[in-house]
Amino acid sequence: MKELNIPKPVELREIKSTPLKPEEIDRLAEKAGSYEAIFNKRARKLREKGLKAGNLHESDFKKLLNEDYSFLKRPVLENNNRVLAGNSKSTVQEMNDSL
Rg, the chain, Cα only: 13
Q: What pLDDT, on the 0 to 100 scale, is given for residue 78? A: 92
Residue 86 lies in a domain: yes
> For the whole model, what pTM was predicted?
0.89
Rounded CA separation 29/15 (Å) = 16
Within-domain flag for 58: yes
Residue 15 covered by a domain: no
pLDDT of residue 6: 78
Q: Given pLDDT bands bounded at 50, 70 and 90, which one contains residue 60?
A: very high
| Structural domains in the chain (count) | 1
74 found inside a domain:
yes
Asked if residue 28 is part of any domain, the answer here is yes
Tell me: the pLDDT tens digits for 62-90?
999 999 999 999 999 998 889 999 999 99
Domain, as residue range, for 88: 22-98
Identify which has the larger pLDDT, 7 or 52: 52
Q: Tell me the CATH number at 36.
A: 3.40.30.10
Q: Which pLDDT score, from 0 to 100, does residue 92 have?
A: 93
Of 65, 72, 67, 95, nearest to 1 by C-alpha is 95
